[in-house]
Structure 1
Amino acid sequence: MSTLPALIIIDMQQGMSWPAPDVRNNLGAEAVIAALLAEWRQRGAPIVHVRHISRTPGSPFWPGQLGVEFQPALQPLPHEHVVEKNVPDAFVHSGLERWLHVRGIDRIVIVGVSTNNSVESTARSGGNLGFKTFVIADACFAFKGQDHDGVPRTAQEVHAMALANLHGEYATVLTSAEWLSLSHQAH
């Protein structure tokens, strides 16, 4: 039996790779996610792939669109659990909480996109539902945007603020190197 928590990979769909590199941060996130996925697979630990299915016609994540498909390097294996969601939070109307509880899983590690949207909302729910929740900072990314005051914010600023919102209150935020060191000590 694995000592690793469930790895929850959020929205690593083809449509997430389409925006230009200058509108997002952490261009190495996909490689970090792939390395973590390989680690979980090698150790036989639970993996959950989350896919966003949009309710907005014309969205790249509308059913049947190429954007909704998983990125080839992060494709789920047949025995890995896939959760489909229609809102940012992967726990809402998805059965994820029950799937974890039925398997006795009380710890989760969250990676994916975007840090301030689906990652943050899922981590908040995970923490609120009583799961020991970890977010891997370098295995997530965000997109630039404007704050509520209309001030333009870089993708890194959006990413860093979302992680700050989570750390200590809902989750423990670590780098992949910190996580791997911690998980190998426990193993």
Structure 2
Amino acid sequence: MQIAENAALVVVDVQKGFEELDHWGPRNHPGADDNIAGLIEVWQETGRPVVFVRHDSVEPGSPLRPGHGGNDFKEYVERRRGKGGAGAELLVTKSVNSAFHGTPDLDAWLRAAGISQVVLAGIQTNMCVETTARMGGNLGYEVVVAFDATYTFDLEGPFGWRLTAQEVARASAVSLHGGGFARVVTTREVVAAAGA
């Protein structure tokens, strides 16, 4: 695997509201936050562009709604914003799952910068990370998902089916990788390929 010199790291919805586990339930990947922080640092140290995505939920009771403390980025992300040196930085806000349906237009920004490869990290694996990966693949980007730099929560579906967070994440990874939408790898593989 190669990580392009101008590959964009897209950090999806790493917000305080996801710490409200009474709302979300059990999660997986306890080391994900450290991996996300590490990826941001690698991108900033190597002068690559970083996109910070924030979900501004329109649901009244959502922990991610604007005006609620949970809408803010987690502290470790906020501390790293604006520290990119030579690397470009963008803030995208959205109210749907895909970062490609936010403001400003992520696709237009990437194309204007000549960026064709995006690396995704963040929350939730099977929701906004997966939707962004699928749409990025559909738009023709080479998408890489740093699987252990993402996490999600237990989920109930139809017929009383319930999956653990790890089962949900694995299903998401299999769909993305097996379906050709993205290459799903570990944070260590991304860091090694980025030359850090």
Q: TM-score range by the shorter chain?
A: over 0.9
Q: Is the 8 A contact 1:51 1:70 kept in 2?
A: yes
Distance in 2 between residues matched to 1:155 and 1:93, nearest whole Å? 26
Distance in 1 between residues matched to 2:147 and 2:54, nearest whole Å? 20
The superposition leaves residues 72-102 of structure 1 with CA deviations (integer Å, 9 ceiling, x where unpaired) of 1011227621000010111014301001011
Give the % identical residues: 38
* Residue 75 (structure 2) pairs with residue 72 (structure 1): yes
Out of 34-43 and 18-27, give the one that drifted further: 18-27
* Residue 33 (structure 2) pairs with residue 39 (structure 1): no
Q: Is the 8 A contact 1:13 1:51 kept in 2?
A: yes
Which residue is 2:173 aligned to? Answer: 163
Q: CA deviation at 1:22?
A: 6.4
The correspondence for 1:126, drawn from 100, 111, 136, is 136
Q: Is the 8 A contact 1:4 1:40 kept in 2?
A: no
Q: Is the 8 A contact 1:62 1:68 kept in 2?
A: yes
Q: Is the 8 A contact 1:4 1:183 kept in 2?
A: no
The 5 Å alignment of 1:79-158 reads: 80-94=89-103, 95-158=105-168
The 5 Å alignment of 1:1-16 reads: 3-16=5-18
Distance in 1 between residues matched to 2:8 and 2:60, nearest whole Å? 32
The superposition leaves residues 34-86 of structure 1 with CA deviations (integer Å, 9 ceiling, x where unpaired) of 00100001011000000000112232222111000011101122762100001
Instruction: Count residues in correspondence.
Output: 184
Distance in 2 between residues matched to 1:167 and 1:130, nearest whole Å? 15
Question: 4+ residue runs of structure 1 moved beyond 4 angstroms?
Answer: none
* Residue 37 (structure 2) pairs with residue 28 (structure 1): no
Distance in 2 between residues matched to 1:9 and 1:42, nearest whole Å? 16
Unaligned runs of 5+ in 2: none
What is the TM-score with the length of structure 2 in the denominator?
Answer: 0.88
Q: Is the 8 A contact 1:52 1:68 kept in 2?
A: yes
What is the TM-score with the length of structure 1 in the denominator?
Answer: 0.92
RMSD: 1.8
Out of 32-41 and 53-62, give the one that drifted further: 53-62
